[in-house]
Amino acid sequence: MGAYAMAVTHLKRWNFSIGTGQPLVVIAGLNVLENLELALSVGRHLQAIAADLGLPYVFKASFDKANRSSIKSYRGPGLKDGLAMLAEVKRRLNVPIATDIHEIEQAEPVAAIADLMQIPAFLCRQTDLVVAAARATSAAGGWLHVKKAQFLAPWDCKNIITKAREVAPDLDIVLCERGSSFGYNNLVVDMLAIGEMQRLGVPVTIDATHAVQLPGADPRTSGGSTGGRREGVPIIAKAAVAAGADGVFLEFHPDPDKALCDGPSCLPLDAAARLLSTLKAVHQAVRA
């Protein structure tokens, strides 16, 4: 076990934890909500796999993808219809929910549904958004899942934690590594960043899906959307868990090439069982 993996955060309403000595947490689902039937189908499939492996599971999907390359890109059903859809998934499957926010006004309604409120990487330095999310999440008893920006050094995440806990001292925070900008249209993951963020006293997850993106470099749209290297997702996920990550963030679709958003970075749903089984084995070996 790494010398700096010292943080444990407990999600009381679902009775599981993330961090030192805890099972690998699986945050997985769809990139963006397309319809309720698909969300339920994907969630049910991933929930069953996680249950068989004895891993805590959180269903994730966005109700709005605001950070798009093109104004014509599919963004999702929006706040009202999207939260209603997520609430139905939560009710029917009895699973915790993760989703992201982009605006201050979204914090309280999202906290009422989501157990993990997520701050997108591009927005992690927006003080008013972080403050609103921290207050709403703390009041609701959830986790604030903050993605490290592509332009931010891992140790600089201490400022995000400080901001959030100045307004919500008891807030449970989980940081997420998702790669750093590496020249034009590319990202690279520094596995040492996982330990550096754990040194800040919080658990750390890996977003292996977005770490393989090629921003603004989808050849199908001549740069009008983000490309990706789907085959790299398992590599990043396994390497990050071996480096000490406390949880994994993954996106699946029954037919990734037909996904309405970020298909090139999305894994086929039938790949989930094998990957998650491997990740559990790696996690156990590293923590032994």
Decide if 262 is catalytic: yes
Which superfamily does CATH assign the domain made up of 23-287 to? Aldolase class I (3.20.20.70)
Residue 52 burial class via C-beta count within 10 angstroms: exposed 0-12, middle 13-18, buried 19 and up: exposed
Amino acid at 51: A
- Domain borders along the chain are 23-287
* pTM metric for this prediction: 0.92
Q: Which of 60, 65, 147, 148 is catalytic?
A: 65
Decide if 12 is catalytic: no
* Closest among 158, 91, 185, 168 to 133, alpha carbons compared: 168
Decide if 65 is catalytic: yes
Q: Which of 60, 64, 262, 280 is catalytic?
A: 262
Each residue's pLDDT tens digit in the chain (288 positions)? 344 446 899 999 999 999 999 999 999 999 999 999 999 999 999 999 999 999 999 999 999 987 766 676 778 899 999 999 999 999 999 999 999 999 999 999 999 999 999 999 999 999 999 999 999 999 999 999 999 999 999 999 999 999 999 999 999 999 999 999 888 888 899 999 999 999 999 999 999 998 887 765 455 544 544 566 889 999 999 999 999 999 999 999 999 999 887 778 889 999 999 999 999 999 999 988
User: What is the distance between the alpha carbons of residues 180 and 177, in angstroms, rounded to a whole number?
Assistant: 9
User: What is the distance between the alpha carbons of residues 54 and 48, in angstroms, rounded to a whole number?
Assistant: 10
> Under a CB-based contact definition with an 8 Å cutoff, are residues 237 and 194 in contact?
no
**CA atoms 92, 19, 33, 110: torsion sign:** positive
